[in-house]
């Protein structure tokens, strides 16, 4: 038995080590100025992802064979400090690094390895001779590490670690074609939304830490394996923490009102769009809600908010998706509609806990389907063009579902859908612009105050911008990209 | 001669002082740079040895039987304790990397002798705990940037007014006692730290002085050291600490917001730095062991990460001139390694996972939430805004276009050494934080004891 336990711990360690090895293999040579060649990068990706995938399948087989549904890998306290004051006061902080393999985490870990491995093999051809080949795979390795850590985290701090890695790598991949301004603007937009989401998760994490004294999930959500955990929090505490987590999930999964970033994220290369925003990254918010399911059990109000948010997102994504004119945007909204439904299923788990299994199955199935569709998208367009050339005319285009709406609301619905629900405009007009306006006003005041004190007349200093070459010929890969 | 008999700490300060005299006589910028590198390297080595001696208990307070200053003044002047022991080598490292990363094109335009003299003063400041001596060193420390501003014929009034205010408040604070003294010292700390309403000297210094001078004057966060050595032991009444905390909290959020909208890279850097130095002061005010540990850990992390961030910006300026954040510059194409360094140091400064700032920021937030959830929320908002500011600057400087140059602008060997050193420190502190945090924890406990039992 001891040998079997040692074996599963060894396999679990391999699951965690694989992404770290990949980051080291790709990152360290790049830092030293000697990046790996395409072939070496490809081999490193294949071997480490395969290692992680087979190790995680091994853990799953062990769990099924021994009927053990909760394997915990405790790497100890990363940081631990104790303070015993003279007045008897006691202060304690520890940052535990623990990972758990259970019914929820192991499917997502296997899914992550499988989809990222497939996309890695696809991308090694797709990105061939692209100038940012090495950069793409370094960010890809960071994303893999983030997904695996977030999936398997057994403490909320560890989850936050993975969550942030996913956020950074996603934003950088959106801006992958970095010689054009649009992807960079969109990458920044994605990053801003992710920071809001990160802040909500961090606040939830420290609030939980404060309420329970621990960040460990088994203290917070009970020692029972998922989904039978029970939280020790009161209903109102669960609601407060749950709402913060819903905000974090909304940002990560592009739920309303943060949906605007999802089509913008399609500016990145097709492989990253497929695996990150179509399949994995967009489901991370739903995964967080599933992980926190004991909070949903405790608070009916929280469950209601989650169901409502999921429904609004699903309807919104359906309406907006019907008028999209490019394939990646259409797929992204289709993906969002499904994520909305998954969130509804998670909320319904308050009344019917079996719905959490439904949500998990839905999540896995949807991720696989959407990856296939995204990867197929560029060649599908080519097939359509060949078909149209062959028949000598456009393919028949049936009217969309909005055409069936009553005449009185049809125009409004079209405007709403074409403007993507005015969500971006609302966030820009009521949050971004007032913020920027206020701080620019402060900035002007400061410059005038400095000029006044210094006795100079012109507070504004003109700085020449280094002249970039903006009219570059686009690479073949960029040309192939269908812009969101 | 034994290890303990060698005055390592005094050597760490004397070497750059001698170096300043030697280098001031050199006319060739390249040889001045090489000699400066040697002197700052020696100072760094001595400060590391002094720190190791302190850690191993070979020199309990960093002093030696061969020290010269006790013979001159009749008392110990320079000492190491749990607070200052790690800070002295960090400050020495910052100076070493600054000299190492100086581009040839800039060598004729900066004064290496002034950098070395500044290093000696700053190292002495961080190795001094006696209020009077510390105050003299703090006042000396503000003179060098003033001389540079005058030499460059740049406006000096903003700097002069604020530093005059600082010196005045400091002197009155030392001359009085009780709550009045604490209030004046608090004022001095707030001015020196660049707290809101009296912070324009920081942006002004970055705009008018050389990047190296401004960086070395502000990055070590001398105001925090002054607060710990001068204000906490008074003992400061609660309203003084709360005053520092409230002002610092507002400054942290305000500066983070300002960093997001800046159109000039130097001002952007100044605000990111101000935001972080204010966060460190917030941790001190909360006055729980956890938050104080977080603040001290964040302090060390900020010196490394923000210092590296500034040095990266300086390397970029050496290639492209003053940098604007109004449009995409596309510098990645010509300086990819600097882009990576910019991102790495910038993310470390905002406490990104895997970097030295991550656990420090977690501790600070945890302590803040325990003490006051509103402060905790403000700390998180500050971190989020700083993260946005850093990535916005990255995108504007390095992406969105393709910069083409007729000469190679890639990273030099010296710069790569600096980058790799910083990377090792940032990632080492991120992956193995216990040593770093335990050291901060010991310093936090010592500071707490000082506050509770004044005069001991």
CB A216 within 8 A of CB A155: yes
Does A98 touch chain B if contact means CB atoms closer than 8 Å?
A: no
Number of domains in chain A: 2
Single out the residue of B123, B315, B306, B139 nearest to residue B211, CA to CA.
B315
Q: How far apart are CA B293 and CA B444, in angstroms?
A: 5
In a domain, A65, yes or no: yes
Q: Is the pLDDT of residue A356 over 70?
A: yes
What values do phi and psi take at A464, rounded to 5?
-70, 135
Residue A450 domain boundaries: 421-454
Which DSSP symbol is given to A100?
E
The kind and range of the H/E element at B126 are helix B112-126
Q: What is the dihedral of CA A357, A361, A366, A372, to 10 degrees?
A: 160
CB B357 within 8 A of CB B305: yes
In a domain, A171, yes or no: yes
Which residues on B lie below 8 Å from A165 (Cβ)? 353-354
pLDDT confidence tier of residue A404, bands split at 50, 70 and 90 = confident
Q: Are A304 and A430 in a shared domain? A: no
Greatest mean pLDDT range, A225-234, A401-410, B10-19: B10-19
How many CA atoms within 13 Å lie on the side-chain side of A12?
A: 27
Q: Where are the alpha helices (DSSP H) in B262-400?
A: 265-286, 289-320, 336-349, 356-371, 373-398
Distance of CA B264 to the CA centre of its chain: 21
CB B254 within 8 A of CB A442: yes
Q: Are A318 and A434 in a shared domain? A: no
In a domain, A103, yes or no: yes
Distance of CA B85 to the CA centre of its chain: 15
Strand A71-84 and strand A468-469: the pairing is: unpaired
In a domain, A311, yes or no: yes
Q: Is the pLDDT of residue A435 over 80?
A: yes
Q: Are A28 and A148 in a shared domain? A: yes
pTM, whole model, 2 decimals?
0.91
From residue B71, alpha-carbon distances to A299, B65, B206 in Å are 71, 10, 40
Q: Are A76 and A160 in a shared domain? A: yes
- The predicted pLDDT at position B77 comes to 86
Which DSSP symbol is given to A37?
P
- The predicted pLDDT at position B430 comes to 87
Single out the residue of B200, B337, B259 nearest to residue A448, CA to CA.
B200
Q: What is the pLDDT of residues B45-77, one digit of tens each?
A: 999 999 999 988 888 888 888 888 888 888 888
CB B431 within 8 A of CB B354: yes
Query: CA A38, A41, A45: angle at the middle one, nearest 5?
Result: 140
Q: Are A376 and A425 in a shared domain? A: no
**Helix, strand, or coil here: B333?**
helix
- The predicted pLDDT at position A472 comes to 41
Q: Are A18 and A105 in a shared domain? A: yes
Which residues on B lie below 8 Å from A472 (Cβ)? 402
Which residues on A lie below 8 Å from B433 (Cβ)? 78-79, 95
- The predicted pLDDT at position A473 comes to 40
Mean local confidence (pLDDT), B327-352: 90
Q: How far apart are CA A290 and CA A103, in angstroms?
A: 11
Q: Are A361 and A443 in a shared domain? A: no
In a domain, A18, yes or no: yes
Q: How far apart are CA B295 and CA B277, in angstroms?
A: 9
- The predicted pLDDT at position A458 comes to 57
Q: How far apart are CA B22 and CA B144, in angstroms?
A: 18
Q: What is the pLDDT of residues B311-336, one digit of tens each?
A: 999 999 998 888 999 999 999 988 88
What is the count of residue pairs from A and B with beta carbons less than 8 Å apart? 193
| More reliable by pLDDT, B451 or A151 | A151
Instruction: List, in order, residues 6 or more apart from A404 with CB less than 8 Å away.
Output: none
Strand A71-84 and strand A90-101: the pairing is: antiparallel
Query: Which residue from B minimizes the CA distance to A202?
Result: B380
Q: Are A362 and A450 in a shared domain? A: no
Which residues on A lie below 8 Å from B428 (Cβ)? none
Mark B355-379 as b/e (b = at least 16 C-beta within 10 Å): bbbbbbbbbbbbbbbbbbeebbbbb
Does B205 touch chain A if contact means CB atoms closer than 8 Å?
A: no
Q: Is the pLDDT of residue A214 over 50?
A: yes
User: A245-249, A355-359, B298-302, B374-378: lowest mean pLDDT where?
Assistant: B374-378
Q: Is the pLDDT of residue A474 over 60?
A: no
In a domain, A101, yes or no: yes
In a domain, A265, yes or no: yes
Query: CA A325, A330, A332: angle at the middle one, nearest 5?
Result: 145
Distance of CA A483 to the CA centre of its chain: 20
SS (H, E, C) A149-171: HHHHECEHHHHHHHHHHHHHHHH
What values do phi and psi take at A394, rounded to 5?
-70, 150
Q: What is the DSSP code string of A62-78?
A: HHHHHT---EEEEEEEE
User: Do A202 and B365 count as a contact with CB atoms less than 8 A apart?
Assistant: yes
Q: How far apart are CA A425 and CA A420, in angstroms?
A: 9
Q: How far apart are CA A27 and CA A463, in angstroms?
A: 35
Query: Which residue from B minimizes the CA distance to A442?
Result: B258
Q: Which of residues 314-333 of B touch A (CB under 8 A)?
A: 320-324, 326-333
Single out the residue of B267, B223, B268 nearest to residue B386, CA to CA.
B268
**Helix, strand, or coil here: B324?**
strand
In a domain, A410, yes or no: no
Query: For chain A, what is the mean pLDDT?
Result: 87
What values do phi and psi take at A267, rounded to 5?
-65, -20
Q: Are A252 and A364 in a shared domain? A: yes
Q: How far apart are CA A211 and CA A204, in angstroms?
A: 10
Q: Are A55 and A137 in a shared domain? A: yes
**Helix, strand, or coil here: B83?**
coil
Does B387 touch chain A if contact means CB atoms closer than 8 Å?
A: yes
User: Do B204 and A454 count as a contact with CB atoms less than 8 A apart?
Assistant: yes
- The predicted pLDDT at position A477 comes to 39
CA R_g for chain A:
24
Greatest mean pLDDT range, A414-418, B72-76, B92-96: B92-96
Q: Are A259 and A349 in a shared domain? A: yes
Which DSSP symbol is given to A216?
B
Q: How far apart are CA A201 and CA B2, in angstroms?
A: 54
- The predicted pLDDT at position A463 comes to 55
Instruction: List, in order, residues 6 or more apart from B211 with CB less than 8 Å away.
Output: B266, B310, B313, B314, B317
Q: Are A199 and A117 in a shared domain? A: yes
- The predicted pLDDT at position A173 comes to 93
Which residues on A lie below 8 Å from B370 (Cβ)? 210
């Amino acid at each position: 038995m001891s040998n079997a336990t040692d074996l599963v711990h060894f396999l679990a360690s391999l699951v965690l080590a694989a992404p770290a090895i990949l980051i080291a293999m790709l990152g360290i040579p790049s830092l030293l100025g000697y990046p790996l060649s395409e072939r070496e990068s490809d081999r490193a990706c294949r071997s480490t992802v395969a290692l992680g995938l087979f190790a995680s399948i091994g853990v799953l087989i062990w769990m099924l064979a021994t009927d053990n549904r909760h394997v915990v890998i405790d790497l100890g306290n990363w940081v631990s400090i104790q303070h015993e004051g003279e007045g008897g006061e006691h202060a304690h902080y520890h940052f535990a690094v623990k990972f758990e393999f259970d019914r929820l985490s192991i499917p997502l870990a296997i899914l992550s390895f499988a989809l990222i491995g497939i996309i890695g093999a696809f991308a090694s051809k797709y990105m061939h001779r692209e100038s940012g080949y090495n950069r793409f795979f370094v960010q890809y390795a960071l994303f893999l590490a983030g997904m695996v850590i977030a999936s398997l985290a057994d403490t909320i701090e560890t989850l936050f670690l993975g969550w942030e890695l996913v956020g950074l790598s996603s934003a950088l991949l959106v801006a992958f074609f970095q010689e054009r301004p649009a992807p960079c603007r969109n990458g920044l937009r994605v990053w801003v939304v992710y920071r809001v989401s990160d802040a909500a998760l961090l606040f939830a994490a420290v609030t939980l830490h404060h309420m329970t004294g621990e960040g460990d999930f088994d203290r917070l959500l009970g020692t029972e394996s998922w989904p039978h955990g029970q939280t020790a929090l009161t209903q109102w505490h669960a609601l407060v923490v749950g709402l913060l987590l819903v905000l974090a999930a909304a940002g990560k999964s592009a739920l309303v009102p943060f949906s605007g970033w999802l089509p913008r994220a399609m500016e990145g290369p097709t492989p990253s769009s497929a695996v990150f925003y179509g399949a994995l990254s967009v489901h991370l918010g739903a995964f967080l809600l599933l992980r926190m399911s004991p909070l949903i059990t405790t608070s009916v109000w929280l469950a209601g908010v989650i169901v409502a948010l999921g429904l609004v997102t699903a309807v919104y994504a359906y309406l907006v998706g019907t008028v999209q004119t490019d394939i990646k945007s259409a797929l992204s909204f289709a993906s969002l509609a499904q994520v909305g439904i998954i969130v509804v299923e998670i909320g319904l788990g308050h009344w019917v806990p079996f719905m959490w299994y439904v949500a998990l199955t839905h999540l896995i199935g949807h991720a696989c389907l959407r990856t296939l569709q995204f990867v197929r998208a560029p060649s599908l367009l080519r097939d359509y063009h060949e078909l149209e050339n062959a028949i000598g005319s456009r393919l028949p285009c049936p009217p969309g579902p909005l055409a069936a709406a009553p005449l009185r609301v049809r125009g409004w619905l079209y405007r709403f859908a074409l403007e993507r629900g005015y969500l971006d405009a609302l966030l820009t007009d009521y949050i971004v612009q007032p913020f920027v306006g206020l701080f620019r006003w402060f900035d002007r005041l400061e410059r005038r105050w400095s000029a006044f004190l210094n006795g100079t007349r012109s507070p504004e200093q003109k700085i020449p911008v280094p002249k970039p070459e903006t009219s570059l010929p686009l690479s073949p890969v960029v040309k192939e990209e269908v812009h969101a | 001669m034994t290890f303990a008999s060698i005055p390592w700490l005094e050597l760490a300060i004397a070497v750059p002082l001698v170096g300043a005299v030697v280098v001031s006589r050199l006319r060739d910028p390249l040889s001045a740079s090489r000699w400066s590198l040697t002197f700052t390297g020696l100072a760094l080595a001595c400060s590391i040895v002094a720190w190791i001696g302190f850690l191993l208990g070979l020199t309990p307070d960093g002093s030696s039987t061969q020290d010269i200053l006790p013979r001159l003044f009749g008392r110990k002047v320079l000492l190491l304790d749990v607070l200052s022991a790690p800070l002295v080598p960090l400050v020495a490292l910052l100076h070493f990397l600054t000299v190492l990363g100086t581009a040839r094109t800039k060598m004729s335009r900066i004064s290496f002798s002034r950098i070395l003299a500044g290093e000696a003063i700053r190292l002495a400041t961080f190795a001094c705990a006696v209020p009077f001596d510390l105050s003299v060193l703090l006042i000396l420390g503000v003179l060098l940037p003033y001389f540079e501003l005058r030499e460059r014929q740049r406006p000096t009034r903003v700097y002069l007014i604020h530093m005059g205010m600082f010196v005045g408040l400091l002197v009155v604070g030392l001359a009085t006692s009780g709550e009045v003294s604490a209030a004046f010292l608090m004022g001095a700390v707030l001015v020196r730290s660049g707290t809101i309403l009296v912070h324009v000297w920081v942006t002004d210094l970055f705009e008018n002085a050389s990047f190296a001078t401004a960086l070395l004057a502000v990055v070590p966060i001398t105001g925090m050291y002054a607060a710990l050595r001068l204000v906490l032991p008074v003992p400061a009444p609660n309203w003084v600490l709360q005053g520092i905390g409230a002002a610092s909290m507002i400054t942290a959020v305000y500066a983070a917001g300002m960093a997001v909208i800046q159109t000039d890279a130097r001002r952007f850097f100044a605000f990111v730095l101000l935001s972080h130095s204010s966060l460190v002061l917030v941790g001190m005010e909360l006055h729980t062991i956890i938050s104080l540990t977080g603040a001290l850990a964040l302090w060390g992390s900020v010196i490394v990460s923000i210092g590296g961030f500034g040095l990266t910006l300086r390397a970029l300026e050496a290639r492209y001139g003053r940098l604007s954040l109004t449009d995409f510059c596309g510098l990645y194409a010509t300086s990819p390694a600097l882009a990576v360094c910019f991102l790495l140091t910038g993310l470390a400064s905002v406490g990104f996972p895997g970097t030295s700032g991550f656990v420090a920021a977690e501790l600070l937030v945890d302590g803040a939430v325990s003490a006051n959830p509103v402060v905790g929320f403000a700390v998180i908002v500050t971190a989020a805004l700083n993260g946005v500011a850093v990535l916005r600057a990255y995108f504007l400087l390095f992406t969105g276009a393709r910069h083409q140059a007729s000469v190679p602008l890639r990273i030099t060997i010296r710069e790569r050494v600096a980058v790799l050193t910083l990377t090792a420190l940032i990632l080492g502190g991120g992956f193995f934080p216990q040593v770093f945090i335990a050291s901060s924890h010991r310093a936090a406990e010592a500071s707490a004891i000082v506050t509770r039992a004044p005069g001991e």
